[in-house]
Amino acid sequence: MEKYLYIALFAPLASSLFVALFAARPKMLFTGIVASLLIGVSMIASFILLIDVNNYGPLHVTMMDWISAGNLSIPFGFVVDEVSVIMMVTVTLVSTIVHIYSIGYMDHDKSFNRFFSYLSAFVFSMMILVMSDNFVGLFIGWEGVGLCSWLLIGFWYHKHSASWAANEAFIMNRIADLGMLMGLFLIYWQLGSFQYDVVFANVKHLDPAIITTIGIFLFIGAMGKSAQFPLHTWLADAMEGPTPVSALIHAATMVTAGVYLVIRCGELYTLIPHVGFAIASLGAFVALFAASMALVNNDLKRIIAYSTLSQLGYMFVAAGLGAYWIALFHLMTHAFFKSLLFLGAGNVMHAMHDELNIKKMGGLYGSMKATAILMSIASVALAGIYPFAGFFSKDKILEVAFNEGAYFLWFALFIGAGLTAFYSFRLVMLVFFGEKEYKKQGLHPHEAQNFVIYALVPLGLLAIVAGFFEHAFHGFVTKLLRNYEIHIDHGVEAILIAATLGIAISGIAFAIYMYKRGGFPKSLEERACYKILSNQYFIPYAYERFIMKPFTALSHFFWVSIDTKIIDATVDLIARVFYKSGEKARKMQSGNLSDMLRWMVMGIVVLLIFAILYRPTV
Amino acid sequence: MITLTHYLVLAGLLFAIGLVGVMKRTNLLMLFFSTEILLNAVNIGFVAVSKYYGDLSGQLFAFFIIAVAASEVAVGLGLLILWYKRNGTVDLNSLQIMKG
Amino acid sequence: MEHILSLLVFFPAMAALLGFMVNKESIRAYAIGVSAIEFFLSIILWIGFDASNAGYQFVEYFALIPSYGMSYYLGVDGISLFLVILTTFTTMIALIALNIEKDIKNLILSVLFLEMAMVGVFVILDIIWFYAFWELSLVPMLYIIGAWGSTRRVYAAIKFFLYTFAGSILMLVGILYMAHLYYQATGVWSFALPDWYMMQIPFTTQLWLFGAFFLAFAVKVPMFPFHTWLPYAHGQAPTIGSIILAAVLLKMGSYGFVRFSLPLFPDASVYFLMPVAIVAIIMVIYAAMVAYAQEDMKQVIAYSSISHMGIVVLGTFAMNAEGITGSIFLMLSHGIVSGALFMLVGMIYDRRHTKLMKDFGGLASVMPGFATIYGIMLMASVGLPLTIGFVGEFLSLAGFYRISWVMTMLAGTGIILGAVYMLVLYKRSFFGAVVHEENKTLKDLNAKELTALIPLVALVVILGIYPKPVLSTIDMSVQKMLVLMEQKAVEQSTKDLIINANTVGGTK
Amino acid sequence: MLEPISINIASLNLPALLPMAILVIGALALLVADLVVKGLNRSFFTMITVLFIILDLGAVIGYNGPVRGFFDVLLVDGIAIIAQVIILVASAFFVPLSLSHRHFREFEMAEFYALFMFMIVGFQCMVVSDNLILIFIGLETASLSLYTLIAMHNRMKAFEAAIKYFTMGALAAGFYTLSALIFYAMTGSVEIYEIERVLVERQFEPLLGVLAATVFMLGALGFKLSLVPSHTWTPDVYEGSSAPLAGYMSVVPKIAGFVVAMRLFEMLVLSGVTWVEDILYALVVLTMTLANITALVQEDVKRMLAFSSISHAGSMMAAIMIGTTQANTALFLYWTLFMFTNLGAFTMLWIVRHRKNLWDERYQHPFSKFSGMIKIMPMTATIMGVFMFALAGMPPFSVFWGKLYLLSAAINSEYIFLALIIVLNSAIAVYYYMKLVVYMFLKEPTTDDATLFTTNASTPLKVIIGFAAMVTIFSILFVEPLLNVITKYVSSSGF
């Protein structure tokens, strides 16, 4: 079975390296095809492993030693257990589709080959992240996906905004990574190893305070990758990247790495429920916070990005409250319908010649039915309507919140569900129905190539049916993960489900109703609350104003004032003092003979005076 | 009665005079005279002390000093004449080519 | 084989002397050949090196001034082995990449002399000779910076020379006082490091001596606030000068800490641990911020070296195998990476005769190959895993975490700030549209430049993925040294700290 | 009434006089030869002189314990031997500098060489005696000949230098005699060992007298050793006199002076007259520092070297002040190595001397003259650079080892502060030595005509340069034997 593991892991690397050979060349179709094939191979291998793990249990291999110094020794080790295999399957599945999709999407891009090289490299890093059997290995993937997202967000580097967003994403993640590193160091110095099995076996013996610290540090890392408040701003800006990238990295896989980390460290977090609850609360907050921003935004991709944020919030609620398998489940379903949503948006963008403002679209249903249907499916799934995938996972999360007696969280999520339904259908309505605004720009939108549509169909199907695997999934992952049972009597449960469905549907209905009638009045946009939302609570502005500007100013001050004017000047001053004193001493050499003689006599006289005045005992 | 002290005081006074001359004089010739005075002041001292101790080496020293003084004068005057021939003055303020 | 070290030290010097006869046209080939031979010698050294023996190997001893305990005493162990290889390697690469026409002969001869001095510093075990090589290394550098530098070269050269010379004279007094102590203790003169290792020194004396040695090393590293010579030296030096300066000369200082300060004065090192660590952290953050404020690409890298050396120092004073091994590995990686970065800047400077970021922009589209290699080196410099930069940084920080987690966190901001200035540099010069006309026609890397760069890239990746052979060799000697420190420490608290720093578990 | 003195010839031990005698004879012979044979050439004189010096050397070497002789005024002990050897070797190397490519009047005259030999005799007398009279005679013989030699260079500057040197020398002689008088008056003897005995017996009472004598002696020797404030003559005299003489002056008279200073002051220091020690301490620091900072601002290499030699002499006084065997050994070691380096440096100046002052209306060797030399004549520039770094105490060149040993001596006798001052001074010093290197290596040449620099070059000079360079670079190989010999001699003569 190991060979499948290595195939699954290294096929993407091979693809990336192979394609990289042609990176500098103009577009070559076969690069895209080869890449897609290799990723497909990796996917098949992952599925085989899935079955294998299901039958024979986890698989653990150690490839070779990496770092060893003092008591520290870190191998390249990989583990394929219930959790990682689910992640692998999800990742490779979405990746394959995205690769195929990109062949169509990047059709006219001159850096076609480079794109696929990066994309495959990302898949490789992601595989390392999920498959590694120790924290540092995870950190490798962690940084690797960061690098790839930097490369891919800034793929169109000639755009200032793109390269800026890329740097922002990288740096924000670095901030979080520092937290994560601290967590790793603490783990090492406490337990002397980075191996999951060793760590989780012994962590329970540690002093709770230390476990708490570890938990917090690790979660800081997770916050960066999963763009949780306050490190969330990069995700929206990351939409500068090509849409397949947004679909793969910023919706389906990378951003969920944080959730994966928390799930992976389940044994650790179960020991510190208070931290877990904090995580859940933050998640709930983000769920609302992001949804609210999605309400008013007019940028096609940003809306979806915010909804991703909000869904990540949901996952963290589940993970925080200890319902790891539910979090993982939502992670998976979300990957399907969210990537679908993004890829559909990609089609729309192409049709609209990269126009992103949904206010300028409308009535596209006529010209691109398939996309419209797929996106609607995705939106329904997102809104969590029975029997679509979103319903099962999301509803479970609300139940968990209720079950934990965290009614406040439950309420937040409940509201969030409503908002989600509203904004996703606001988007659908504005894009596909209503007035044909695009006519004004004289565009003639057209449907994407067929194979692109076909590539999307599997996702569409999964978005519909994935929910029904719930029990199989539950049974499978809880072999590893702590099981979580919900004990709510059926009456209450039914009411809850009804309520959730109700608010979701009413959200949808409201959206349809309003936008059929030409949307909200303009006057609304003058309102303060609207302004706050449309400016993302002025947080990016605040960062710019209170962090970046002062930092730049301070750096400049250090350089000009401290380094040059003080430190360096002091050094030169010392030298100059000697030189100047030389100039002074030089006057002694007047060259006049009388002066010379006087100096000699003076010397004698002074010494004599000394002899008289100062005479230490013999 | 003239004791050793008187001689030594005299020697001291002469030496002081010599020093002052060395410092003050700007005429090279006078300057050399002053240095001669220094040496002779010492001579007096030596002779007196040597008499006082009844030991010859002092007088020996005095003789040598006289001899050396003589040769010094010879060399000094030689240099002086050289200088005078070149730029017609024996004022030591003319020796100012080199300084700094 | 038993004289390979002497060969390593004096082969370049001999070659330089003979080089006077070689004529100007063929001198470059001559230099590359010589440095290549030297490099292979060092590789042979590595092959012959017994990785299971932590002590000094290939030892050569010859009493020069027996009545005064001065000897010609060579030896190499895990700590110095790779620094020697780094030296020979960088010199070779730098010579390959060299493209100066003016008085190239003098330049090359001085580089070869410099190589002798640098190798000597790392393999010599007699302190007087160490001092001699230490000072000798200044002279060729003075000439290289001052004669082939840019406009303010003479000022920069003199500043570099005087600053480092003045810094090291106190060390001379320290050395002689050590010798005096040794004479007091044993009744014989000796300047041999292994002899000195055996000597226990009273606490207060240790403090003074530590100070005397510290200044010399601190100036060389360079530690805040003795760092101001570095920007000038780098800013004015020709490319080859910057490469060697960054790759090797700075390492002499940090090597000095590991080789002298720690094992000779364990108690003082522990006593000064916190102050030194604070200075190191200031270096990391302050230098990174200053680097961020620079307009000149080369200055950015110059200040970034200060920042990285801060982490090296921190790791050295972690007092545990992880930290010290890490810091030595970081010396190597920083040598390779910063050397490569300076080389890259030099290449673009040769094309455009400017190093200012604002004069570039959009280079990625004009020179993709250049941009790619630059990007790889950049990622190595910000310490991305699986590049050479990560291993050392990770280990150094991990090591120091044992001493103080707050300070480690502060030093850790280096990885954030590092990303900040490096990415901003990359964005400003490589991303965006090509605004300047003259940039549109720039040529991508040529064959010569690639031959110089490819090995560096390869090393960056290989040692990033499989650093074990290097690490384990270093680690063994480091552990030996730590044991020695623990044994000869005079204060119980020192022993406790060293033991505690090297054991897992327990305190927060 | 003085009783007559009866002398026993055997007790005179005339052989002790032999070394001096040889050179006196040599000088006279040279004069006679010049009278009888017309048109003898400088090469002849030079070689004869060298030969006699070698003979002298032969007579000097061969030492067995301290010997007294000639009315016990001669004291041939270890340091006397070493000092003489240094003096003679230095002379043997400096005389051939007369064989320069261009002809100078003084080198054509037999008198020059005769005087030269008399001067050597004078120095020898200074070092082989502990009798104030003989020391005085030696001093004066040497000085008077030296004044004349300087003046023989026959340029305005030379005359000025000679007169300045002479006048101050006369004053110094006055001081010397006065100090001798005071010692004599207090102890009734002019023999240093005798004076010492009496003073120690009396616990140095009256102290004021002792101190006064010391002060005047300091004034006299301070002039010879160019200690502040009696150093003012040095730069002018060096500048005025020809390079070979200047180099000679920077080495030989000083070593003679050091020996006398050792005999006189160490006696005082070691017998615990702290006052002397403190004053010497102050003088040493003052001399080194003042000379160094003044050297920083010189425009002329020769003047710079003059100041540098002042500061070197200062650190030698430090050795005398420390007064341990190691320190005295360090002194001789240092000076031997310093001699060769200085020989090289001044010979170099001698080689690049040009008839006219092309670069500066006053200076012969302004720094600007050397700018870009590496491009015009790389070999010369490199060697000059080596000499400069050696003088700066840069390892592993000659002077470094001397400095090292001196510092070690200072530290071993717990003079840490002194050691610090010495190294700090060498840090200052490195700047002005490096200034020349900077000019030679880093500046652009003002001319590309190499012949301007080689008008005075000749084979003998080149040979000497090569030799000096070899010694300077590979000095490490000679340190061990030198150390052994010097230590043996010094310790055997009780210093």
Give the C-alpha separation, A395 to D116, whole Å: 114
The residue of chain B with its CA nearest to that of A602 is B23
Give the C-alpha separation, C286 to A557, whole Å: 11
The residue of chain B with its CA nearest to that of A600 is B23
Give the C-alpha separation, A448 to B98, whole Å: 95
Give the C-alpha separation, C8 to B98, whole Å: 52
Sign, CA torsion C184/C190/C193/C198: negative
The strand pairing partners of A74, in sequence order, are A67
* DSSP annotation of B91: B
Contacts of C364 in chain A (CB under 8 A): 157
- Segment A114-145, tens digit of pLDDT: 999 999 999 999 999 999 999 999 999 999 99
Q: Give me chain C's average pLDDT, please.
A: 92
> Does position C462 have pLDDT exceeding 90, yes or no?
yes
Contacts of D295 in chain A (CB under 8 A): 582
- Segment D110-133, tens digit of pLDDT: 899 999 999 999 999 999 988 999
Give the C-alpha separation, C429 to D418, whole Å: 54
Helix or strand (DSSP H, E) at C76: strand C70-76
Q: Give me chain A's average pLDDT, please.
A: 89
Give the tokens for residue C341: 């970065």
Strands, E, within A172-314: which ranges? none
Q: Residue D344: CB partners within 8 Å, gap ≥ 6?
A: D383, D387, D464, D465, D468, D469, D472
- SS3 of D36, please? helix
CB D295 within 8 A of CB D367: no
Best to test chain D binding among B14, B15, B68 (most D CBs inside 10 Å): B68
User: Which residues in A345-355 are b (16+ Cβ under 10 Å) and which e?
Assistant: bbbbbbbbeeb
pLDDT value, residue A612? 85
CB C30 within 8 A of CB C19: yes
Give the C-alpha separation, C310 to C317, whole Å: 11
The residue of chain A with its CA nearest to that of D270 is A618
Give the C-alpha separation, D131 to C186, whole Å: 42
The strand pairing partners of D227, in sequence order, are none
Of chain D, the percentage scoring pLDDT greater than 90 comes to 62
> Does position A617 have pLDDT exceeding 70, yes or no?
no
**Closest among C274, C238, C317, C287 to C421, alpha carbons compared:** C287
CA D299 to chain CA centroid, Å, is 24
Q: How close C61 gets to chain A, by Cα (Å)?
A: 31
Q: How close A442 gets to chain C, by Cα (Å)?
A: 29
Contacts of D274 in chain A (CB under 8 A): 616-618
CB C431 within 8 A of CB C347: no
ipTM score assigned to the predicted complex: 0.91
Best to test chain B binding among D129, D181, D190 (most B CBs inside 10 Å): D181
Q: How close B6 gets to chain D, by Cα (Å)?
A: 14
Q: Residue A362: CB partners within 8 Å, gap ≥ 6?
A: A430, A431, A432, A433, A434, A435, A436, A437, A438
- SS3 of D131, please? strand
Q: How confident is the model at residue C234 (pLDDT cuts 50, 70, 90)?
A: very high
User: Which residues in C310-321 are b (16+ Cβ under 10 Å) and which e?
Assistant: bbbbbbbbbbbb
Of chain C, the percentage scoring pLDDT greater than 70 comes to 99
B93 lies within 8 A of chain A by CB:
yes
Give the C-alpha separation, D115 to D89, whole Å: 17
CA dihedral (A350, A351, A356, A360) in degrees, to 10, reads 170
The residue of chain C with its CA nearest to that of A551 is C289
Give the C-alpha separation, A63 to D310, whole Å: 71
Note the pTM of the prediction, 2 decimals: 0.93
pLDDT value, residue C508? 47
- Segment A444-490, tens digit of pLDDT: 888 888 888 888 898 899 888 888 888 889 989 888 888 888 888 88
In a domain, D238, yes or no: yes
B10 lies within 8 A of chain D by CB:
no
Best to test chain D binding among C65, C126, C131 (most D CBs inside 10 Å): C65
Identity (one letter) of the amino acid at C341?
A: L
- Segment A52-102, tens digit of pLDDT: 998 888 889 998 899 988 889 999 999 999 899 999 999 999 999 999 999
Average pLDDT of span B5-21: 93
The residue of chain A with its CA nearest to that of B19 is A601
Angle at D181 between CA D177 and CA D184, to 5 degrees: 135
Contact flag B35-D173 (C-beta cutoff 8 Å): yes
Give the C-alpha separation, C96 to D247, whole Å: 46
Q: Give me chain B's average pLDDT, please.
A: 90
**Closest among D178, D189, D409 to A601, alpha carbons compared:** D178
Lowest mean pLDDT among C380-384, D70-74, D255-259, D364-368: D70-74
For chain D, report the end-to-end CA distance as a whole number of angstroms.
40
- Segment A3-37, tens digit of pLDDT: 899 999 999 999 999 999 988 888 888 899 999 99
pLDDT value, residue D10? 67
pLDDT value, residue D5? 64
Considering only CB atoms, A147 lies closest to which of C229, C384, C424, namely C384
> Does position D7 have pLDDT exceeding 80, yes or no?
no
Any chains having at least 3 CB pairs less than 8 A from chain C are: A, D
Q: For chain D, which residues lie within 8 Å of any Cβ of chain C, measuring from their own Cβ?
A: 374-375, 378, 389, 394-396, 400, 404-405, 407-408, 411-412, 416, 419-420, 423-424, 426-427, 430-431, 434, 437-438, 441-443, 476, 479-480, 483-484, 487
B75 lies within 8 A of chain D by CB:
yes
Average pLDDT of span C229-245: 93
**Closest among A212, A218, A205, A199 to A262, alpha carbons compared:** A218
Residue A407 exposed, middle or buried by CB count within 10 Å (0-12, 13-18, 19+): exposed
Look-up of token digits 């990622």 = C379
The strand pairing partners of C60, in sequence order, are C74
- Segment C330-385, tens digit of pLDDT: 999 999 999 999 999 999 999 888 888 888 888 888 898 999 999 999 999 999 99
Query: Regarding beta strands D74-76 and C57-65, do their DSSP bridges make them parallel or antiparallel, or are they unpaired?
Result: unpaired
Q: For chain D, which residues lie within 8 Å of any Cβ of chain A, measuring from their own Cβ?
A: 163-164, 167-168, 171-172, 175, 203-204, 207-208, 211-212, 215-216, 218-219, 222-223, 228-230, 232-233, 235-236, 272-275, 278-279, 290, 293-297, 428, 431
> What's the structural domain count of chain D?
1
Going along chain B from its start, the domains and CATH numbers come out as: 4-91 (1.10.287.3510)
C-contacting residues of A 112-151, CB under 8 Å?
Answer: 136, 139-140, 143-144, 147, 150
Considering only CB atoms, B79 lies closest to which of D151, D156, D177, namely D151
Give the C-alpha separation, D190 to D184, whole Å: 6
> Does position D403 have pLDDT exceeding 90, yes or no?
yes
CB D493 within 8 A of CB D193: no
Of chain B, the percentage scoring pLDDT greater than 70 comes to 100
In a domain, D5, yes or no: no
CB D171 within 8 A of CB D216: no
| Higher per-residue pLDDT: D225 or A519 | D225
- SS3 of D423, please? helix
Give the tokens for residue D301: 């290499």
Contacts of A578 in chain D (CB under 8 A): 293, 296, 428, 431
Best to test chain C binding among D397, D438, D474 (most C CBs inside 10 Å): D438
Q: How many residues are recorded in chain C?
A: 508
Q: Per-residue DSSP letters for A461-499? A: HHHHHGGGGHHHHHHHHTTTSPP------HHHHHHHHHH
B39 lies within 8 A of chain D by CB:
yes
Average pLDDT of span C315-338: 94
> Does position C505 have pLDDT exceeding 80, yes or no?
no
Helix axes D274-296, D416-437, angle to 10 degrees: 20
In a domain, D4, yes or no: no
In a domain, D6, yes or no: no
- Segment D284-334, tens digit of pLDDT: 999 999 999 999 999 999 999 999 999 999 999 999 999 889 999 999 999
Q: Residue D417: CB partners within 8 Å, gap ≥ 6?
A: none
Q: For residue D455, give its domain range.
A: 13-492
B17 lies within 8 A of chain A by CB:
no
A159 φ/ψ angles, rounded to the nearest 5 degrees: -80, 125
Contact flag B61-D171 (C-beta cutoff 8 Å): no
User: Which residues in C368-388 are b (16+ Cβ under 10 Å) and which e?
Assistant: bebbbbbbbbbbbbbbbbbbb
> Does position D272 have pLDDT exceeding 90, yes or no?
no
Residue A151 exposed, middle or buried by CB count within 10 Å (0-12, 13-18, 19+): buried
